Amino acid sequence: MFTIDYKSRVPIYRQLVDRVEYLAARGLLSPGSQLPSVRALAVELSINPNTIAKAYSELEAKGVIYSVPGRGSFVSDNTDTLRQETLKRLADKLRALAEEIRSLGMSKGDFIGICEQAWQEAKAKERDQKDD
């Protein structure tokens, strides 16, 4: 569930934050579900517990998770808000990409064709992942 790319230039704590946000936005981490403890996740991923604690702290500040002293960290129930924020951020990226592609002279039809192809590839990839 939590994977880390140790060769990435993205800091490990940022990868964890992004992954939890992604899983929560997609509903793969349901509201109220408990996250692994800092120690357990640090052992599982073979990374420093302070890195996990930093990621959990940022997630809590963003309202993605909440902590219960003595019990652990849990996914908050505002995942709908997180999902909407994620969709808005992705739509903004798509707008910027469309502007850049248009400025390079690509036609609207070609752009839409690429989008449709990417959509089909994403569906196929999702289907393949479900079969695993």
Same domain, 18 and 71: yes
Residue 31 belongs to domain spanning: 12-77
pLDDT tens, the chain, 132 aa long: 888 999 999 999 999 999 999 898 888 899 999 999 999 999 999 999 999 999 999 999 999 999 999 999 999 988 778 778 888 989 999 999 999 999 999 999 999 999 999 999 998 888 877 776
Residue 19 lies in a domain: yes
Residue 82 lies in a domain: no
Q: What is the pTM of this model?
A: 0.69
Residue 55 lies in a domain: yes
Cβ neighbours of residue 72 under 8 Å, at least 6 residues apart?
34, 35, 37
Domains identified in the chain, total number: 2
54: helix, strand or coil: helix
Residue 105 lies in a domain: yes
Same domain, 18 and 72: yes
Same domain, 71 and 44: yes
Sign of CA dihedral 28, 19, 37, 1: positive
